[in-house]
Amino acid sequence: MFSPFSLNTITRRLVLVASVFFSPALLADTPTSTLPDTLKLSDGSVLFGKLLSANSGQINFESEHAGSLLIAVKDVQELVSQRVVVFRFTDGQVIRLPKVKMTREPVAITTQDGTMMYALADIDTINPEPWMLGKGHQWTGALIFAFELQSGNTDKQEIDFDLNSVWRQSEVRYTLRASGELDEANQTTTSDDYTVSAKSDRFLSDTTYAGANLYFEADEFAHLKRRHMLSVYYGKQWQSKPQYRLSTEPGLAFVSESRTDLEKQNYFAFSWNMDMHSTYLGPNTDSYLNQIGVWNMEDTTDIVINTQIGIRMPVRHKITLNTELKLEYDSGAPADVEELDQTFTIGLGYRW
């Protein structure tokens, strides 16, 4: 027989053991630190907040007092985080660290491949998205659509569209661009043209790539029945910061061209593509310039340059107001057709 004293003692001990084992703090998978991350900058100032990510030499840091900031890695003297951080270094190593302190001086990090020395300058990406590590893909794009309908003394219809869609994996990128214009006035077509470009790129390094492009173009009122082009090129990403991006793609192309009342023409050409984007007008804006050029190597006086210059401004979530100037220069146009065609459009867009 147990005495009441011993039974009460056993009961209290069981309750104490149960409370320890089922404590919410101990049930957590990993301890959660309430300490802020810190960045010590070259000028001696220290930022407190949360380390979000880093890419293209820029650290995305959520400051407690200044909000979201983009800080160049070269301006950071010390990075300290109490949270779990995933680093991808310039040598391709991906390492997950529960706590980290990195400075300009290399520090030893032990991995399954051995001990390696890394410093701030060796960081390629912090908390990379899955597609950057070869898992899944990233799909981004923008669609601009402008429509005008007028009736009365003049019956008028205008439809303009512009599509830019990019599908990206770690080493591969596919790009689809298409634009067109169809205008009618009093049941008479006044403009009918389109361009389509389908590109495939394979990255050779973080900033260089090789690719191929299929390009289709037609413009009824420029007497261009069709222009088909297959080009191969070498691409270079000169700038990839969020505030400014610039890439160029010089290459060689085979062009097949057919004009109204003229014989079909095939020739080899020097081709290029230049793509610039900037957020200079605001973090959610996009000021851009895209140019495609074709220079006939058999007739150096024959050159085609199509340029798009535009601005996308946010109106609501994923909805943008777009202004664009399209300049289409064709030195080989017939005598009764202007060499330079200019189109200015304003319309709403959707981006993802």
Distance CA 147, CA 159 (A): 5
Q: Is the dihedral of CA 318, 319, 321, 324 positive or negative?
A: positive
Higher pLDDT, 264 or 214: 214
Going from N- to C-terminal start, the domains of the chain cover 37-128, 138-351
Task: Give residue 33's identity as a one-letter amino acid code.
Answer: S
**Least confident range of 107-116, 148-157, 265-274:** 148-157
Query: Predicted confidence band at 154 (pLDDT cuts at 50, 70, 90)?
Result: low
Q: What is the mean pLDDT of residues 161-173?
A: 91
Higher pLDDT, 29 or 184: 184
Q: Give every CB contact of residue 324 below 8 A, 6+ residues apart in sequence.
A: 144, 162, 308, 309, 310, 311, 344, 345
Q: Which of 306, 325, 309, 313 is nearest to 285 (CA)?
A: 313
Question: What CATH number belongs to 138-351?
Answer: 2.40.160.40
Q: Give every CB contact of residue 218 below 8 A, 6+ residues apart in sequence.
A: 193, 194, 224, 225, 226, 227
Higher pLDDT, 96 or 222: 96
Query: Predicted confidence band at 11 (pLDDT cuts at 50, 70, 90)?
Result: very low
Asked if the model's pLDDT at residue 4 lies above 80, the reply is no
Cα within 13 Å of Cα(294), Cβ side: 30
Distance CA 352, CA 347 (A): 17
Alpha carbon of 194 to those of 163, 215, 352: distances in Å?
11, 11, 23
Q: Measure CA of the first residue to CA of the last residue in the chain; give whole Å.
A: 75
Q: What is the mean pLDDT of residues 105-112?
A: 81
pLDDT tens-digit map of 209-219: 999 999 999 98
Query: Predicted confidence band at 108 (pLDDT cuts at 50, 70, 90)?
Result: confident
Asked if the model's pLDDT at residue 156 lies above 80, the reply is no
pTM recorded for the entire structure: 0.74
